[in-house]
A and B are shown apart, each in its own frame.
Chain A
């Protein structure tokens, strides 16, 4: 069965722009979580969705937002990009509990 799919794999954006990242969970999984990974901070929780509802949100500014669709696919958006937003963004899915299966990530570079 197909794993968690994230698109695109790589992105280069300019400061001040916005970006949308996409995540398709494993078939049947209704929970999707997003994490940001940087060399200095490691993996940090962004938010988690279950059946289109955000159940939990991490300590990130309001520029970071997300949503989940009825087919469980999820998107996250970052507006007004800053250099510090450069990171690997990881999506994980699960049946309804803590995430086990991660995607390969989207590498975002802000220049």
Chain B
């Protein structure tokens, strides 16, 4: 099984609909992140969480919300989807406490299309 699992892998939704993207991890990491990938723009941070009680906005949080239900689960919601939220979404985890390994572990992504 993958260390970081994102569901669904693909989703097409209509403008104005509420949608939730889910992320679960078996790494035991405290820190979790949601990034959005767009062609030519790289990966941009939406929200991040350092532990269950901690939620922080990233650079492009408008139109999104998150919930950290447990150490292993971090979900991203689009309250009212709009077409410019069409993108590839990635969840990632990290644990800076593990020696010098500060690397992120990414999920396989959710491709979201808003029509």
- A and B held together in a complex: no
Residues of B in contact with A (beta carbons under 8 Å apart) = none
Residues of A in contact with B (beta carbons under 8 Å apart) = none
